[in-house]
């Protein structure tokens, strides 16, 4: 067995750079944890800064402002012990002093990404992150120096092995050394963005470390959206036998508490499309709320992509913050109008209708003496007219446009620059077409009434920019295209492997 410790996890949703707001979230969780009798409260990586702060780390005054708020958290540890992810300034490093852009952005501060143990109003110790992820959405080598030492910290007669996010994903390293040295608890502070299938990977790693160390493994993750990333929370704790002691909710702030000697709890819910759905709703909500944007404008065409984006936006923001638009052209089928109206009515949102034919005719007339107005010229003119109208409505309301592009279209360039590509955020831009259909069915299943009509799910997809147009006239069928997009864009495979 191991000593009983009552641990709270401060699963918070920080805003990058909002030090006073983030500090208050931390202090509030500390006070609440103390009130509930916890011995220790664990916060994620970069809990005070928010993640990822990117080049703000290099901005003059940014770290000084962060340190002022961090000292308030250190002071408050008089009342309860804290594990928290924060940066550690460790002197200066050589910098290019000749190039003005290096002086402005080079950063001569030697900075570590670290996790701290605070108690009795002071810093007991820390562990710097050794492995700095610099792939995909991560670029930590640009800002941080890799940690060199491995520490085991003593607290109330217990030996704690602290680590930051990425170090738990490598064999050996920090956690391997801590396990060999002997620990009573492994605690990992993470800022780990969600992708489908990632939670199961985390559980597998945690169980392996807990077994190796013969001690419980505690994992604290951020929650919430930050620009294009969404953090899923889902903090947890596992015993060496693989049983869960804690499985916190996903995509929600909270202060779950567990006892290391307590009874096991049910393992976390399966990860799948409902979790993807939660991620997209969270991403839209935080993108607007953290940026102080009042609402969104969405083109609703009668197709599946725009219907799904509208449904997600309503779930994220409520229908009163969503304006739907229907901009029919000469090629818009009556069926499309019927389905667009159905979606808007089912969601309870306004639908502004502006026919674009008059504007199109006028532009075509002006162009005709100088250029053909056939084929792709005519098609893209229509898409760009819609873009102009969306942006005019955005300027009039202070709202932003949500783009309806999916990953299969975006990856193949099957969209119109300055047309359907306008917008602040493309909520389904990471879903291939088959996933959009699956999400549409899920949205219908979860709703008391049908949001996305059966006709929309049945009809062949079309941009409706020319007579009887269908996507599969210009693109491979989506069931062939989707796997190619996944292989090329997500698995980064060479094209030569995919052609047969």
Domain boundaries, the chain: 6-269, 277-490
- Provide the CA 380 distance to its chain's centre, in angstroms: 32
The percent of residues in the chain predicted with pLDDT above 70, rounded, is 99
pLDDT at 3 over 90: no
Residue 404 · residue 299 · CB < 8 Å: yes
Condensed to tens digits (0 to 9), the pLDDT of residues 447-490 reads 999 999 999 999 999 999 999 999 999 999 999 999 999 999 99
Which option is the CATH number for 277-490: 3.30.70.870, 1.25.40.10, 3.40.50.620, 3.40.1280.10?
3.40.50.620
The answer to whether domain 6-269 and domain 277-490 are alike in fold is no
The single residue listed with the structure tokens 């002197």 is 91
pLDDT at 363 over 90: yes
Q: Quick one: pLDDT at residue 288?
A: 98
Condensed to tens digits (0 to 9), the pLDDT of residues 260-301 reads 999 999 999 999 999 999 999 999 999 999 999 999 999 999
Report the distance separating Cα 382 and Cα 468, nearest Å: 16
Condensed to tens digits (0 to 9), the pLDDT of residues 38-82 reads 999 999 999 999 999 999 999 989 999 999 999 999 999 999 999
pLDDT at 318 over 90: yes
Report the distance separating Cα 162 and Cα 150, nearest Å: 9
Condensed to tens digits (0 to 9), the pLDDT of residues 114-125 reads 999 999 999 999
Report the distance separating Cα 232 and Cα 200, nearest Å: 13
pLDDT at 106 over 80: no
pLDDT at 500 over 90: no
pLDDT at 96 over 90: no
Question: Would you place residue 98 in the very low, low, confident or very high pLDDT band (cuts 50, 70, 90)?
Answer: confident
Name which of 100-104, 242-246, 455-459 the model is least confident about: 100-104
pTM of the model: 0.95
The topology (CATH level 3) of 6-269 is Nitrilase/N-carbamoyl-D-aminoacid amidohydrolase (3.60.110)
Q: Quick one: pLDDT at residue 183?
A: 98
Question: Would you place residue 108 in the very low, low, confident or very high pLDDT band (cuts 50, 70, 90)?
Answer: confident
Condensed to tens digits (0 to 9), the pLDDT of residues 141-187 reads 999 999 999 999 999 999 999 999 999 999 999 999 999 999 999 99
Q: Quick one: pLDDT at residue 220?
A: 99
Q: Write out the catalytic residue numbers.
A: 45, 129, 165
Condensed to tens digits (0 to 9), the pLDDT of residues 15-45 reads 999 999 999 999 999 999 999 999 999 999 9
Q: Quick one: pLDDT at residue 95?
A: 82
Question: Would you place residue 91 in the very low, low, confident or very high pLDDT band (cuts 50, 70, 90)?
Answer: confident
Q: Quick one: pLDDT at residue 462?
A: 93
Chain-wide mean pLDDT for the chain? 96
Question: Would you place residue 105 in the very low, low, confident or very high pLDDT band (cuts 50, 70, 90)?
Answer: confident
Q: Quick one: pLDDT at residue 60?
A: 87
Q: Quick one: pLDDT at residue 122?
A: 98
């Amino acid at each position: 067995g191991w000593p009983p410790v009552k641990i709270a996890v401060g699963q918070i949703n920080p805003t990058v750079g909002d030090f006073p707001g983030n500090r208050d979230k931390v202090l509030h969780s500390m006070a609440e944890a103390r009130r509930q009798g916890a011995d220790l409260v664990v916060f994620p990586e970069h809990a005070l800064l928010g993640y990822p702060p990117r080049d703000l780390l290099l901005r003059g005054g940014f770290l000084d402002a962060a340190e002022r708020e961090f000292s308030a958290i250190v002071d408050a540890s008089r009342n309860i012990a804290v594990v928290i992810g924060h940066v550690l300034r460790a002197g200066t490093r050589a910098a290019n002093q000749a190039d003005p852009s290096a002086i402005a952005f080079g950063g001569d501060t030697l900075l570590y990404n670290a996790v701290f143990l605070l108690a009795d109003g002071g810093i007991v110790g820390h562990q710097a992150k050794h492995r700095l992820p610099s792939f995909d959405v991560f670029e930590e080598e640009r800002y941080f120096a890799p940690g060199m030492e491995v520490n085991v910290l003593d607290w109330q007669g217990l030996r704690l092995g602290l680590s930051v996010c990425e170090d738990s994903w490598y064999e050996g390293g920090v956690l391997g050394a801590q396990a060999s040295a002997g620990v009573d608890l492994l605690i990992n502070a993470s800022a780990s963005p969600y992708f489908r299938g990632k939670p199961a990977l985390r559980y597998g790693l945690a169980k392996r470390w807990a077994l190796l160390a013969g001690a419980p493994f505690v994992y604290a993750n951020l929650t919430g959206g930050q620009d294009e990333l969404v953090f899923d929370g889902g903090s947890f704790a596992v015993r060496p036998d693989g049983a869960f002691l804690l499985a916190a909710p996903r995509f929600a702030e909270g202060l779950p508490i567990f006892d290391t000697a307590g009874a096991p709890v049910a393992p976390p819910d399966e990860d799948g499309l409902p979790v993807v759905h939660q991620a997209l709703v969270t991403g839209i909500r935080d993108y607007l709320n953290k940026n102080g944007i009042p609402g969104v404008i969405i083109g609703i065409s009668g197709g599946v992509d725009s219907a799904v984006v509208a449904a997600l936006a309503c779930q994220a923001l409520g229908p009163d913050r969503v304006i739907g638009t229907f901009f029919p052209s000469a090629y818009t089928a009556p069926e499309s109008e019927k389905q667009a109206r159905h979606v808007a009515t089912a969601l309870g949102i306004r639908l502004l209708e502006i026919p674009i034919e008059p504007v199109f005719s006028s532009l075509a007339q002006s162009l005709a003496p100088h250029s053909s107005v056939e084929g792709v010229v005519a098609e893209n003119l229509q898409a760009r007219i819609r873009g102009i109208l969306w942006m005019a409505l955005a300027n009039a309301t202070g709202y932003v446009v949500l783009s309806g592009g999916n990953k299969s279209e975006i990856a193949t360039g099957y969209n119109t620059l300055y047309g359907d590509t306008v917008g602040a955020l493309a909520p389904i831009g990471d879903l291939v077409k088959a996933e959009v259909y699956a999400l549409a069915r899920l949205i219908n299943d979860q709703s008391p009434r049908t949001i996305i009509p059966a006709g929309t799910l049945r009809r062949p997809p079309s941009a409706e920019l020319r007579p009887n147009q269908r996507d599969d006239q210009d693109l491979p069928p989506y069931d062939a295209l989707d796997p190619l997009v996944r292989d090329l864009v997500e698995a980064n495979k060479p094209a030569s492997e995919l052609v047969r």
